[in-house]
């Protein structure tokens, strides 16, 4: 049996990726699995813990580096939201990440040029905006730009308050397009819920590929049916 005996203290997206790795590897190796309780699992259908079992082989926690390699079962069959948000037809989500990204890797705080160019590629009338940092210049520029274009703007109800993340995640997962940041929170919304068209920043992906970051290398090489690129901007 393969188990997660200690869940990461990281954010919701990191927890989803760790858990997905557990389920994918267990399916690949035809092994039983178990997982300790983790915050956020309650929003999905089914028993995501399998706590009645006790594991004898602890999974070495990793993030996206095994996402494509270990894929055995569809992510959408693992993560089925109990309550799907109702969104406007033909809509796009835009995710901006600031705050701790400035310390982690300032290049991951994407600039306004990427977002504005990406918007031009998306034939949507309604844009859902999500961020942990409303002071970002990119966020302010996008709001102004969409207003000038007379687009419908819906700001995530929990924007700038990361304590309440589940509602925004559910909305994002049901959009038709995602203009993504490199945040695992946003990436996970891309492979859960509706099949969607995903945009990433070309300069970010190119940099991560040059550093042989496996998730981004595999995504750049085509991804898979769960998560793939629609556009690089």
State yes or no: pLDDT of 106 exceeds 90.
no
Structural domains of the chain, with CATH: 2-78 (no CATH), 91-232 (3.40.50)
State yes or no: pLDDT of 83 exceeds 70.
yes
Give residue-wise pLDDT tens across range 150-199: 999 999 876 555 566 888 999 999 999 999 999 999 999 999 999 999 99
Rounded to whole angstroms, the Cα distance separating 30 from 22 reads 12
Between CA 225 and CA 126, with CA 82 as vertex, the angle to 5 degrees is 65
Which helix H or strand E contains 197, and what residues bound it?
strand 197-200
Q: What does the pLDDT read at residue 159?
A: 54
State yes or no: pLDDT of 52 exceeds 90.
no
In the beta sheet, which residues pair with residue 153? 127
Whole-number average pLDDT of the chain: 91
Name the band, by pLDDT with cuts 50, 70 and 90, for residue 50: confident
Q: What does the pLDDT read at residue 160?
A: 52
Collect all residues with Cβ–Cβ distance below 8 Å to 55 and sequence separation of at least 6: 1, 2, 3, 5, 32, 33, 34
Rounded to whole angstroms, the Cα distance separating 217 from 208 reads 7
Name the band, by pLDDT with cuts 50, 70 and 90, for residue 58: confident
Give residue-wise pLDDT tens across range 8-18: 888 899 999 99
Q: What does the pLDDT read at residue 127?
A: 98
């Amino acid at each position: 049996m393969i188990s997660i005996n200690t869940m990461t203290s990281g954010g919701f997206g990191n927890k989803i990726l760790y858990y997905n790795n557990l389920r994918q590897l267990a399916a690949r190796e035809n092994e039983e699995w178990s997982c300790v309780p983790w915050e956020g699992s309650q929003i999905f259908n089914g028993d995501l813990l399998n706590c009645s079992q006790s594991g004898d082989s602890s999974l070495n926690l990793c993030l996206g580096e095994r996402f494509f390699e270990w894929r055995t079962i569809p992510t959408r069959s693992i993560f089925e939201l109990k309550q799907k948000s109702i969104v406007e037809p033909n809509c796009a989500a835009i995710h901006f990440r600031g705050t701790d990204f400035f310390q982690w890797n300032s290049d991951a705080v994407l600039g306004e040029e990427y977002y504005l160019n990406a918007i031009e590629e998306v034939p949507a009338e309604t844009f859902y905006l999500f961020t942990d940092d409303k002071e970002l210049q990119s966020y302010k520029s996008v709001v102004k730009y969409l207003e000038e274009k007379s687009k419908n703007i819906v700001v995530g109800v929990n924007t700038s308050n990361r304590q309440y993340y589940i509602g925004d995640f559910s909305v994002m997962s049901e959009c038709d397009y995602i203009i993504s940041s490199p945040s695992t929170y946003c990436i996970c919304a891309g492979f859960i819920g509706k099949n969607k068209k995903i945009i990433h920043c070309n300069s970010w992906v190119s940099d991560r590929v040059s550093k042989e970051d496996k998730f981004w290398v595999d995504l750049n090489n085509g991804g898979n049916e769960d998560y793939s690129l629609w556009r690089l901007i």
